[in-house]
């Protein structure tokens, strides 16, 4: 009896991460933690939202008692918004963030980002999307030019690998053999990052 194995698929989620105004001076430190946690930063933008834009972004919270303070807090200075990608990005990012109340996070998740960088329930330092649908909505809000297409699977995934991944990897391995570095894995990783043909251009500008 022949056992049919499912075709391998590539699963990559994206989520929106925001470094809020009161911890923007910790940007580099937080980004380092994000990258060391297995995420890729595929888009990045520094901007300042107006109170009206904050109201629209947090429209689902409208009517709650903390809503005015939330919009005032989020519009009080520049933020750094990032699109993070990895397998199960939304759940992993929420886990890394910890509880929304930073005071509670320090007790239950002392190593989480909100425990480390947040102040209280409102000023919790960072934002993360709650679901796939909210991630798509929030990414489009902050990055209106973003193209959110389904991740390729099956033959489309194989075609993508053959056209974009394998040629670059082969070139990197060839260069590795010629270079013969002391630490091949680190050298190859650095080479692939440097020669990535689809390397995104990060955006750094302030929007009023």
What domains can be seen in the chain, in order of their start residue?
14-142 (3.30.70.141), 154-195 (1.20.890)
User: What is the edge-to-edge ordering of all strands in the sheet holding 13-19?
Assistant: 40-47, 79-86, 13-19, 126-128
Helix (H, G, I), strand (E, B) or coil at 14: strand
Give whole-number Cα distances, 30 to 111, 129, 131, in Å. 13, 17, 22
Q: What is the pLDDT of residues 69-97, one digit of tens each?
A: 999 999 999 999 999 999 899 999 999 99
80/145: higher pLDDT = 80
196/174: higher pLDDT = 174
Among 39-48, 110-119, 132-141, 150-159, the least confident range: 150-159
The Cα–Cα gap between 124 and 208 comes to 23
Indicate whether 146 pLDDT > 70. no
CB atoms within 10 A of CB 1: 2
Residues 113/126, Cβ–Cβ less than 8 Å: yes
Give me the pLDDT at residue 138, please.
95
The Cα–Cα gap between 193 and 182 comes to 18
Establish whether 205 is a catalytic residue. Answer: no
Point out the catalytic residue in the list 109, 111, 127, 205: 127
User: 184-194 and 166-179 are packed helices; what angle lies between their axes, rounded to 10 degrees?
Assistant: 130
Residues 199/191, Cβ–Cβ less than 8 Å: no
Residues 21/76, Cβ–Cβ less than 8 Å: yes
């Amino acid at each position: 009896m022949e056992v049919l194995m499912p075709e391998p698929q590539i699963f990559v989620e994206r989520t929106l991460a925001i470094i809020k105004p009161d911890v923007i001076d910790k940007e580099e430190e937080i980004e380092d933690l994000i990258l060391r946690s297995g995420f890729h930063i595929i888009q990045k933008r520094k901007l300042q939202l107006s109170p009206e834009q904050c109201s629209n972004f947090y429209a689902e919270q409208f009517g709650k008692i903390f809503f005015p303070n939330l919009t005032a807090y989020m519009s009080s200075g520049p933020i750094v918004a990032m699109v993070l990608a990895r397998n199960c990005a939304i759940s992993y990012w929420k886990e890394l963030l910890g509880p929304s109340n930073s005071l509670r996070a320090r007790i239950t998740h002392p190593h989480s980002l909100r425990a480390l960088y947040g102040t209280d329930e409102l000023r919790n330092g960072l934002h993360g999307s709650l679901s796939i649908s909210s991630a798509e909505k929030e990414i489009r809000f902050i990055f209106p030019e973003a193209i959110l297409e389904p991740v390729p699977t099956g033959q489309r995934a194989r075609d993508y690998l053959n056209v974009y991944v394998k040629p670059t990897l082969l070139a990197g391995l060839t260069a590795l053999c010629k270079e013969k570095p002391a630490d091949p894995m680190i050298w190859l990783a650095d080479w692939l990052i440097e020669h990535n043909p689809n390397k995104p251009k990060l955006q750094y500008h302030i929007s009023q």
